[in-house]
Chains A and B, each alone.
Chain A
Amino acid sequence: MKFIIFISVLLFCFSSFAFTVEQKIADPVLEKRAQKIFEDVRCVVCAGQSIADSDVELASDLRTLIRKKIESGASDKEIAQYLVDRYGEEILFLPPFKPSTIFLWFGPFLILFGGFMAVFLNSKNKRKNS
């Protein structure tokens, strides 16, 4: 019993170090727009996360900056461009559609098509042989 209590207490690690309260935009519509952008922006410290998920201070600063820009009337496109100008295209999760990214967009379909072709030709071949 004591052991179980001990383990249950361990499960509640009361840590508030990582918890910071951020000033949200008063207008819920604008705040929602901000949240949407956060999900598309890559955290520059931990590249697998978006800044919506990251607790890193730099991510928090980026959120604050994006909120400020929205409040001052910047469009989503302008905000994305501001970030891309400074950090490069990899700051956005969605790669832009342009010649150098064609393979990135269509590569998987190409491979899938290749697989279908292989299966199709193979089975046709087998039927002919049998």
Chain B
Amino acid sequence: MTRFWVIFPLLLFIAFTAVLAARLVSHNTGYFKQSPLIGKDVPSFSLPSAIDGDENLDNNEFKGRFSAINIFASWCISCRYEHEHLMALSKIIPIYGIDWKDEKEDLKQWLDRWGNPYKKIGFDKNGEAVIALGVTGAPETFIINEEGKIIFRYPGPIDADVIKNEIMPRITTK
């Protein structure tokens, strides 16, 4: 019995380290990977349009059908990577863009050059909507259901696999 108590701290230490190590290398853990907004309404925000003359974008937009919110910017390199996949996704559900800390002129060039997958684009100079949505960086994509609730968040650039395996199953009505 005494022998057990001698090695007990060591066992405890090994167990503790193993838990920490597993969490460290696991894909789904880490800071800000899981959004507390899943299952909630789109938080309130109101942005002017990034394209002069277009309508503003606010949180009342997202009801009655599945839609997506995509945080992006013309300075964001991985946004360029996901752009073609957004074009594909825009044929399935409307995508609303939140253009983060951008210049209107740069954005215009970006859209002219690569195409515009967005139904509307909000211009978020001060990160108002970005913080309201708990975003940690661009790009980031949210999927919203017919009731206007956020059902999925994907930090980082989406690709064909994400659309096929993560987004499509969630937007097909059962």
Of A61, A84, A110, A114, the residue contacting B127 (CB under 8 A) is: A61
Taking a contact as CB atoms under 8 Å apart, the answer to whether A121 and B6 are in contact is yes
Of the listed stretches B30-38, B108-116, B158-166, chain A binds: B30-38
Of the listed stretches A2-10, A21-29, A30-38, A39-47, chain B binds: A39-47
Q: Apart from A86-B131, A118-B7, what 13 extra A-B contacts exist at CB < 8 Å?
A: A58-B130, A58-B131, A62-B131, A64-B126, A65-B127, A87-B32, A87-B36, A87-B134, A87-B136, A88-B134, A110-B12, A111-B9, A111-B16
| Chain A residues, CB < 8 A from B31 | 42, 44, 47, 90
- How would residues 85 to 110 of chain B score, 1 for a CB under 8 Å from any chain A CB and 0 otherwise? 00000000000000001000000000
Chain A to chain B contacts (Cβ below 8 Å), 22 pairs: A44-B31, A57-B101, A57-B127, A58-B137, A61-B130, A61-B131, A65-B131, A85-B36, A85-B43, A86-B43, A86-B131, A86-B134, A87-B36, A87-B134, A90-B32, A111-B9, A115-B9, A117-B8, A118-B7, A121-B2, A121-B5, A121-B6
In order of increasing CB-CB distance, the 5 nearest A-B pairs are A86-B134, A61-B127, A47-B31, A44-B136, A114-B9
Q: Complex Cα distance A118/B35, Å?
A: 43
- How would residues 77 to 90 of chain B score, 1 for a CB under 8 Å from any chain A CB and 0 otherwise? 00000000000000
- The residue on B at minimum CB distance from A61 is B127
| Chain A residues, CB < 8 A from B13 | 111
| Chain B residues, CB < 8 A from A95 | none
Of A61, A88, A122, the residue contacting B34 (CB under 8 A) is: A88
B132 at the interface (CB under 8 A from A): yes
Of B6, B16, B34, the residue contacting A118 (CB under 8 A) is: B6
Q: Complex Cα distance A88/B29, Å?
A: 13
A125-B36 in contact given A58-B127, A61-B131, A118-B9 (Cβ < 8 Å)? no
- Majority SS at the chain A contact face: helix
| Chain A residues, CB < 8 A from B136 | 44-45, 58, 87
- The residue on B at minimum CB distance from A58 is B127
- The residue on B at minimum CB distance from A114 is B9
B37, B43, B134: residue with the most chain A Cβ atoms closer than 10 Å:
B134
Of A58, A61, A84, A114, the residue contacting B8 (CB under 8 A) is: A114
Q: Complex Cα distance A125/B12, Å?
A: 22
A96 at the interface (CB under 8 A from B): no
B57 at the interface (CB under 8 A from A): no
Give B160 Cβ to nearest chain A Cβ, in Å. 27
